[in-house]
């Protein structure tokens, strides 16, 4: 039970942070104009041309999945995301015996829930982090997307990392 309590704390802190950031952006930053996608026209500049990298906080609405994929099917995406989250929660709670997978799974679940909550309240996902790498405008994303990505990469490394205690 102690194991799950820590996971709940992490979940609630991260989901609250995601909700607060998105709410702030939604209520305080003008929606980004794609005619002027870079700050100062497209949001709040955090840094510009730091070794060729620029970063700004913007407000963009996304009705699809990553990079706007499947944006014509928002309800289907909502259902698929919900099923995946339920499956991961069931797996984490009842079938996962490897505690090393707990945190990556919580990150994935929290990120997916953050985007599901957006769909429930806004009928779209609020994205805000905009990087420009040496002239390439990276697709705009949010904290929930970052949690999902970090969780998947973490799981990937867990999957391929050899267990030193296991005998061959």
4: helix, coil or strand?
A: helix
Q: Is 98 a catalytic residue?
A: no
Integer Cα distance of 9 and 21 in angstroms: 18
Q: Is 127 a catalytic residue?
A: yes
Catalytic residue, chosen from 49, 102, 118, 145, is 145
Please, is 32 exposed, middle or buried when counting C-beta atoms within 10 Å of its C-beta (0-12, 13-18, 19+)?
A: buried
Q: How far is CA 32 from CA 36, 42, 99, 129, 135, in A?
A: 8, 5, 42, 12, 18
Distance of CA 143 to the CA centre of its chain: 5
Integer Cα distance of 75 and 119 in angstroms: 9
Helix (H) or strand (E) holding 90: helix 74-90
List the strands of the sheet with 125-133, edge to edge: 44-50, 53-62, 125-133, 136-137
Catalytic residue, chosen from 49, 102, 118, 127, is 127
Active site residues: 127, 145
């Amino acid at each position: 039970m102690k194991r799950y309590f820590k996971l709940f704390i992490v979940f609630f802190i991260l989901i609250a942070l995601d909700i607060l950031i998105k709410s702030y952006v939604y209520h305080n930053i003008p929606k980004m104009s794609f005619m002027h996608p870079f700050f100062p026209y497209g949001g709040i500049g955090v840094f510009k041309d730091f070794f060729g990298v620029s970063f700004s906080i913007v407000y963009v609405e996304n009705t699809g999945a990553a990079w706007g994929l499947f944006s014509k099917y928002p309800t289907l995406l909502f259902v698929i995301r919900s099923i995946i989250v339920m499956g991961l929660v069931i797996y984490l709670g009842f079938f996962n015996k490897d505690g090393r997978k707990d945190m990556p799974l919580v990150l994935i679940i929290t990120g997916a829930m953050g985007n599901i909550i957006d769909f429930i309240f806004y009928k779209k996902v609020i994205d805000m982090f905009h990087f420009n790498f040496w002239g390439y405008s990276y697709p705009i994303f949010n904290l929930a997307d970052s949690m999902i990505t970090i969780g998947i990469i973490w799981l990937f490394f867990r999957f391929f990392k050899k267990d030193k205690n296991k005998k061959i």
